[in-house]
Structure 1
Amino acid sequence: MNPLDVSAATNRWSTRPAVEKLWLFGGLLLCAMLLPPPTAAPLVVVATLVVTLTLARVRARLFFLALLGPAVFIVLGAVPIAVSLRGGLHVEPGGLDLAVTTGLRAIAASAATIGLAVTTSVADLLDLARRAGVPAALCHVADLTYRLIGILIRSVGAAREASGLRLGLRNPRVAISVVGTQFALVFVRATDRAHAMSEAMSLRAEPGMTAVLTADRPARPARLLATTGVLLSIVGMSLLLARMWHVG
C-alpha cells in the first residue's frame, strides 16, 4: 500500500461515511474555485489543515509532502503568466496580480483535494460513485488506473534503488542517462502491466462489474448540517473580506 492508502485506512476519520468527507472537501474545493482567491484561499487552506491534521489526525509530513509537488508545479506555471519575454524580459501589466490569484486558487483547491485523498480510501469513493449512478465502466477504468499507478510508483522506486546500489547516480551526467533509461523502462512496463491487469480483472468479472468491499455507513444529517454551516461561514467571511478590501 502506498502512504496515501495507509493514511486513508488508519486516520481518525477512516470510518466516517465517504459522503460526509466528500461534502466537506468538495465544498472547500468549490469555495476555492468560485470565491475571490485573495480572501477565500487562506480560509480554505486553514480549514483543510484544521480538519485534516487536527480532527482526522493525518501526519503533517505526509500531507505537506503530497502538497509539495502540486505547489511547485503551480508556482512554476504561474511565472509565465506574470513574466513575458516578448520585447525583452519584463512583467506583464496586470500579470503579477493574475499569477498570484491563479496560484492561490490552485493551491487551495489542491489542498482540499489532497485532504480528501489522505482521509478517504479509493474503495469508498468508487462505491459512492457507483451508488450515485456513475457508469460502471467508468468506475472500472478508474479502478484499473489507480491500481496501475500504484504498481508503477513501486516499480520506479525499485529501479531507482537498484541504480543507486550500482552507483548509477554517482554524477549528474550518468544520473541523467540512468533516469532517461528508467523512464523508458517504466513506459514499456506500464503498457505490459495495463494489458495484464485488464485481462486479470476481465477473468474475475465483466468490465464494470467488479465490486469493492466497503461497510455500509449512512451519513449523519447533523454532521452534514455542521459541514454546511462551516462552508457557509467561509463563503460569508470571504465575501465580506473581499468587499472590505475593495472598499478600502
Structure 2
Amino acid sequence: MTKEFEGKTAVVTGGGSGIGRAVALGLGARGANVIVNDLKHEVAQVVVDEIVAAGGAATAIAGDVGKPDDVKAAVDLAVSTYGALHLAFNNAGIGGPQGLAEDIDIEGYLKLMDVNLHSVFYGMHFQAPAIVAAGGGAIVNTSSILGVVGDANALPYVTAKHGVSGMTKAAALGYASKGVRINSVHPGYIDTALLAGIPAEIYDTLVAKHPAGRLGTSEEVAELVLFLLSDKASFITGSQHLVDGGYTAQ
C-alpha cells in the first residue's frame, strides 16, 4: 500500500466505529498521523491500538462533537502532538427522533442538530485555519442520502444532513483560494454494528431500497473518503459524492 498521506496529520471524528474507524485505519495504513476522536476514550483507543500495531501513528481523544471546546481540543492535540493539521473527516453522527414534526421531542431535535450539523461547523471553524497554516489540505464532511432526498419519518436527520450539504459548499467556496478543499460524502444504508440487532424484516426492507441488492460497507465509503482527502482529488471541491448502491437514482 502506498504511503500517500506520509507526513500528514488528520482528525477523524466518530472514529471509534463504522465508517470513522475504517477511514482512521485507512489513513494510518497510508502514512498519516491520526487523531481518533470518539465520545468514549476507550473506544477511540482500540482503533489507535490497531493503527499502531500495524506500524502507524495515532492518538486517541474523547470528546462530544456537539461541544465547540471538545472539537477545538482535537485540533489542538493534532498540532501539539504532530506539528500541524492537514486533513479532517467530520463524521460523527446520531440517529435521533423520528415521526411527524408535531410528534418530535424538541430536546431530541436540538441534540441531533448539535451532533449532526453544528458539529460540522465547529469542526471547520477550528480545522480550516489550522489547515491553511499548514499549507493546505482537505476536509470531508459526512452527510447522507438523506442530505439529497427526503424521508417523511426522519425530519430532524434530513434537515441536518441537507444542512451539511449546503454548509460544505459554502465553506468550500470560501476556502478554495486558501488551499483547502472541502467535500461531502452521502452514504446509503451501511451494514454496521448499529444494524446488528434489528429484525430481519426491517433489514430486508432496507436492502430492498438499494438497487444494488445489498447494503454498503464501511470500507466502501472509506475508499471514497480517502480519495477525496488525497491529492488525487486535487481539483475536487464543493461537491457532494454519493455512495448509495443506486438509492437516489430511483
TM-score, normalised via structure 2 length? 0.27
Greater fraction helix: 1
Larger strand fraction of residues: 2
Which of the pair has the greater relative contact order for Cα pairs under 8 Å at 6+ separation? 1
Q: TM-score, normalised by structure 1?
A: 0.27
